[in-house]
């Protein structure tokens, strides 16, 4: 992992002054930091990935929404069972993925 990118992500996170950074910036920050400290940032990455599925940027891109949800499930599943946020974000990701699959089978 490029340490300059990690440092930049940490600075962006600190300067955001919010509990969870959302949107494209949040995706970049948490995707950068999760490989370095998965138990700290993985649950936030999974959360932001699920939120990103509602973005107008992917409204008409069902394959992209499913890819985001698959990534969210993968990240949440990789968290330690001892992680206090694992069950909540995994359930959120799995439910969103199920809804997406149900919605695509209706079309």
**Residue the block writes with tokens 């949800």:** 69
Q: State how far the alpha carbon of 64 is from the alpha carbons of 52, 59, 70, 74, 107, in Å.
A: 10, 9, 10, 15, 16
Q: List the helix and strand counts (H, then E) for the chain.
A: 5, 0
Supply 39's token pair: 């138990």
Q: How does pLDDT run across 34-70, given as a tens digit for each residue? A: 999 999 999 999 999 999 999 999 989 999 999 999 9
- For the chain, the structural domain boundaries read 3-106
**Residue the block writes with tokens 């499913």:** 66
Supply 4's token pair: 């300059």
pTM of structure: 0.92
Q: How does pLDDT run across 59-104, given as a tens digit for each residue? A: 899 999 999 999 999 999 999 999 999 999 999 999 999 999 998 7
């Amino acid at each position: 992992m490029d340490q300059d990118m990690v440092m930049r992500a940490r600075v962006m996170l600190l300067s955001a002054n919010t509990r969870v950074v959302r949107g494209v910036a949040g995706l970049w920050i948490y995707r950068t930091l999760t490989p370095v400290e998965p138990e700290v940032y993985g649950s936030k990455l999974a959360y932001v990935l699920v939120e990103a599925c509602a973005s107008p940027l992917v409204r008409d891109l069902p394959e992209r929404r499913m890819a985001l949800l698959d990534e969210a499930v993968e990240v949440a599943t990789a968290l330690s069972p001892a992680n206090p946020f694992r069950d909540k974000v995994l359930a959120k990701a799995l439910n969103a993925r199920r809804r997406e699959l149900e919605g695509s089978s209706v079309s």
